[in-house]
Structure 1
Amino acid sequence: MLYALKIALGLFVLLFLLPLGISAGLYASSGSGAGWRTADRSSAGLLPAPSTHQPAVLRVFAAQTVRWRGIFAVHCWIVFKEEGASSYTRYDYTAWGNPIRMNGFEPDGRWFGQVPETVFAVDGATAEALIPRVRTAIADYAWQNQGDYRAWPGPNSNTFVAAVLDGMPEIQLALPPNAIGKDFPYDGRWLRATPSGTGFRLSFGGYGGLTVAWVEGFEVNILGAVAGLDLRRPAIKLPGLGRLGMA
């Protein structure tokens, strides 16, 4: 029993505490927390100009979040435009005012100085078919009243994106492991199929849980921090550091 406890403690240090310590060191050396109020929020140039790109577009972006929380988490958001539309529509879920915020920032803007990564991208007929379902899911999202936002364990920005894209298994999307809040049971169900429909997720109120799925991979959630493996696209998932492996 004592030996098993030592093994468990060693794995916890190796897979949770050490990655978070490295992430904290990287954050401190980057100066990310300095001057965030005046940080660059301009376009990162990740989207085609809508005036010249006629097909429908659907994107999910993620970027290191603001201040010290960037040690632990990224912020995710959704962007889309219908075929022929002259502009993009962006949806975020934030702590300010009514949490669902439409077009509060540049569609592919830097998140307080941090360049976003593209988590999901689809254009053309597939995007056109998905966008009405995305709009409906946003309108039906339960946690949309002032005061509903909670940075931890949720519902937060990542809970919102995960919920909106849930029930669309054709998207086959796995949010980054450091998208803290993605596993929060927004619908009150602690045991359910994963958003991809390729496995299951057990969540103890967002404070802990387990995911086993082909798309999402194997993930262990402890206090919102996720460690795990992706076998479909080989990679290791670590708290703070995110996904390390095949893109």
Structure 2
Amino acid sequence: MLKTSFPLIRAGLVACLVLAVQAGFAHDAPDAATGAAPRGSWATAPRHSAGIAPDPVQLVDVPIVQIYAARTYGWRAYFAVHPWIIYKRKGETAYTRYDVVGWRSPDVVQRNYAVPDGLWYGSTPELLVDHRGEGVEAMIDAVEAAVVSYPFAHEYRSYPGPNSNTFLAHIGREVQALKLDLPPNAIGKDYRPLSSPVGVSSSGSGVQIGLLGLLGVSLGLEEGLEFNVLGLNFGIDFNRPALRLPFFGRVGFTDVSTPPTVPASNPELARR
């Protein structure tokens, strides 16, 4: 019985490793090494606004922070997502966007690389975090400090990290008020250096034990219980019940509550 089981276990681990390695290329630009655009093509993939972000001109007096994640380009979309954060302060009429873009090395942290809520090379983004109004100015201060303190600003490895998901996980840890719950297919969010295997989970609401993003476990109010095996995450969310699965991401109730777009003191705009 045991002799029969060992080959099956070994085959399963090999399959997981192959999938994880494939997922590792999820954040690389197609032909990034040569700069050439393949026929197809990622260079012509749509990157226009998805129409999700609130109008910053209409809401000029409302500070806003949002976080998005979109499936990566081509076949990579089956495995992983690319996240980013946008924000605007009270009085501003345009958003600032930050994300990590591997093919922009050595300065991988990019400011305003793309449209705030733009399609990520053809993939429509999903809203993960939406904060507006009271308390958001202080949140933006903390976000900007977290961007500056990101420890891998000149380092990028698509698998197992640090990558774009590692960047947003860092912001989530530093700015716990965001209540950021990155999806289980945000490969790289669990990356922890060997010097720091234990710490706060990526949502900032729990604890995490991890080994270079390859093996680990997280337990928190936002992400629930989640296991990482070779970069593939499995778990269950108890906060807003859902399964957390590789490839599929979050399966269950939505995890985002959209606040009113304007303060109650401005009912005229609220009716628009």
Into which bin does the TM-score normalised by the smaller protein fall? 0.7 to 0.9
Q: How far, CA to CA, are the matches of 1:114 and 1:186 in structure 2?
A: 30
Match of 2:46 in 1: 40
Letter in 2 for 1:40: P
3-state SS of paired residue (2:139): helix
Q: How far, CA to CA, are the matches of 1:42 and 1:105 in structure 2?
A: 9
Of 221, 227, 234, which aligns to 1:220? 227
Could you tell me whether the CA contact under 8 Å between 1:159 and 1:186 is conserved in 2? Answer: no
Q: For the structure 1 residues 213 and 165, does the alpha-carbon distance in structure 2 shift closer, same or farther, using more than 3 Å as the test?
A: closer
3-state SS of paired residue (2:144): helix
Letter in 2 for 1:139: V
Q: How far, CA to CA, are the matches of 2:149 and 2:205 in structure 1?
A: 24
Letter in 2 for 1:37: A
Match of 1:201 in 2: 208
Q: Does 1:237 align with 2:244?
A: yes
Match of 2:116 in 1: 107
3-state SS of paired residue (1:166): helix
Moved more, 179-188 or 104-113: 179-188
Q: Does 1:56 align with 2:51?
A: no
3-state SS of paired residue (2:158): coil
3-state SS of paired residue (1:135): helix
Could you tell me whether the CA contact under 8 Å between 1:80 and 1:90 is conserved in 2? Answer: yes
Q: How far, CA to CA, are the matches of 2:199 and 2:64 in structure 1?
A: 29
Alpha-carbon displacement from aligned partner over 1:130-172 (angstroms, at most 9, x marks no partner): 0011111111211112xx1111100100100110221322222
Runs (5+) with no aligned partner, structure 1: 24-32
3-state SS of paired residue (2:57): coil
Q: For the structure 1 residues 113 and 81, does the alpha-carbon distance in structure 2 shift closer, same or farther, using more than 3 Å as the test?
A: same
Report sequence identity in percent: 38
Q: For the structure 1 residues 102 and 197, does the alpha-carbon distance in structure 2 shift closer, same or farther, using more than 3 Å as the test?
A: closer
Match of 1:182 in 2: 189
Q: For the structure 1 residues 186 and 164, does the alpha-carbon distance in structure 2 shift closer, same or farther, using more than 3 Å as the test?
A: farther
Q: How far, CA to CA, are the matches of 1:84 and 1:187 in structure 2?
A: 43
Q: Does 1:124 align with 2:116?
A: no
Alpha-carbon displacement from aligned partner over 1:104-153 (angstroms, at most 9, x marks no partner): 100000000111000000011222110011111111211112xx111110
Q: TM-score, normalised by structure 2?
A: 0.77
Could you tell me whether the CA contact under 8 Å between 1:163 and 1:186 is conserved in 2? Answer: no
Of 160, 165, 180, which aligns to 1:158? 165
Q: Does 1:138 align with 2:118?
A: no
Q: For the structure 1 residues 186 and 60, does the alpha-carbon distance in structure 2 shift closer, same or farther, using more than 3 Å as the test?
A: farther
Runs (5+) with no aligned partner, structure 2: 24-38, 255-272
Q: How far, CA to CA, are the matches of 2:226 and 2:181 in structure 1?
A: 11
Match of 1:30 in 2: none
Match of 2:28 in 1: none
* 1:37 Cα deviation after fit: 1.8
Match of 1:26 in 2: none
Letter in 2 for 1:118: L
Could you tell me whether the CA contact under 8 Å between 1:166 and 1:196 is conserved in 2? Answer: yes
3-state SS of paired residue (2:251): strand
Q: How far, CA to CA, are the matches of 2:211 and 2:120 in structure 1?
A: 30
Q: How far, CA to CA, are the matches of 1:188 and 1:63 in structure 2?
A: 31
3-state SS of paired residue (1:92): strand
* 1:187 Cα deviation after fit: 8.8
Could you tell me whether the CA contact under 8 Å between 2:182 and 2:202 is conserved in 1? Answer: no
3-state SS of paired residue (1:125): coil
Moved more, 166-175 or 213-222: 166-175
Q: How far, CA to CA, are the matches of 2:211 and 2:250 in structure 1?
A: 23
Q: TM-score, normalised by structure 1?
A: 0.84
Q: Does 1:70 align with 2:77?
A: yes
Alignment RMSD, CA only? 2.6
